Structure 1
Amino acid sequence: MNEVESMTTPVVFIHGLWIHSVSWLPWQQLFGERGYDTLAPNWPGDGTTVSETRADPGRVLDIGVEDVTDAYARVIEGLPDAPIVVGHSFGGLVAQKLLDRGLAAAAVGISPAPIKGVRAVPLSLLRSSFPVLKSPANKRRTVALTENQFAYSFGNAISRGESDELFRDLTIPSPGRPLFEASTANLRRTSPTGVDTRRGDRGPLLLIAAGQDHTVPAVVVQGAHKLYVRGGAQVDLRTYDDRGHSAPFDRGWRDLAEDTLSWLEVQGLKP
């Protein structure tokens, strides 16, 4: 990416598994109207469009959490100031890692994938991960969800019609490796999903949980929040009891976006 010559309070949006970066377009428009400059880069190997990514899924083979984090770090290096990073699911985990590296002014993790140290493993999380974790070979493969799998993992708190529409418009094949890295994190001394929750010199962090989320249940996000609080970090937690994993890009996306903007204003991070 070419160096950005002039920006005001950049915001970098980071998508998660199975969702293309175009899912952030409504957020980018809203944040732009409020004076922020925004970017929503793709993961390494993703095409510029949903259809392009679906047409060549082999480009995202064997992409892991560190690969994604390093790619966004390179994007940030081209910005004039440390950005706000907003991520969903595994994008929320990457946002925390960028904050941990000192590359972000603040971070927002929406239903973030679990960091190393979170012990909660609800049954719905296991079921949502099963399409990947059912075969060890999927660690180095690209995996696509079916409509039914998406409806359970992402769309359970919305109508089936809306879920199917989101599936058609936003879903892409994704690498299986990040899920294997997250599922084995607590079995290893070090893990790509690890962050230093005891650091006191990082920027503020907002964790957002969805009470009906099957993929990253609220108890998982609450577990991460507890780790940060014990470490003395500046972290806030908000829970939307009636929302699922599709919350940042379904018809109720604006609730989360407006609350995120309000939180940024409280942190003194207005444009």
Structure 2
Amino acid sequence: MPHTDASADAGIAPATDFGTLTSPGAREGRIGSAAEAGADVEDTLDLRLPADFVALFAEDVGVGGGWRRGADTGAPGFVAPVAPDLLGSVVDWGPVSTSAGVLHLVPARIERDLPIISRWMNDPTVTAFWGLAGPENATEEHLLSQLFGDGRSVPCVGMLDGTPMSYWEIYRADLDPLARHYPARPHDIGVHLLIGTTGDRGRGLGGTLLRAVANLALDKRPACARIVAEPDIRNTPSIAAFLSAGFRFSAEIELPAKRAALMIRDRSLHHLL
């Protein structure tokens, strides 16, 4: 699952006002030296969801499961199971008020959202990080891998006062290949963000939205003790946005496509932020 890193408040490949934008497969690699040196001492989890476990959840429509037909997959008559949502039904998280307006994370749908997400991915400031430029099918394959995967990641469109302006991936970091590269804890939630609209970049909006979504995730997922992200270490504006949203820099980790800054937002500080 590609994760990218856009820039936050200006500059450096203003790649999309921040987020965790990475290239495909960026989580497959070795843990970085700083993490090896002891940043956060918990044992690293390396969990894979067995097929029978996924099938069990897919059969339970009450856990976010369901069925989706050809209109969503591009294949007439094709029927595929919608991935079970292992984040506690992000679709039910609802809107959250921010100083910039009301933000609502709406789970992505191929037939509705593919054109705008693909357009954002073809923005030159985004391309270098996400690696999904080109025809729509590149973005479509990326979305389908999550929509019909094992439910560990939920792709969403961020609606600010009713206008689509960002793309998010909310994912179970402890069940993701990323868990091989940092000391993961059970129920860690990861966040990737892409600000799609040029006019929304470079004015501090990234930090504002990140703070709101981190708060929302911690409120809705009591078992989650941390929100994590891994922007490219070169993307100073992105890292600044996470810092402004209450994340702390934990370590540098080496991923196949980049050297990343491991950013962590702790529940223990939730009441202070």
Give the TM-score of the pair, scaled to structure 2.
0.30
Q: Hey, which of these two has a bigger chunk of helix by percent?
A: 1
Q: Hey, which of these two has a bigger chunk of strand by percent?
A: 2
Give the TM-score of the pair, scaled to structure 1.
0.30
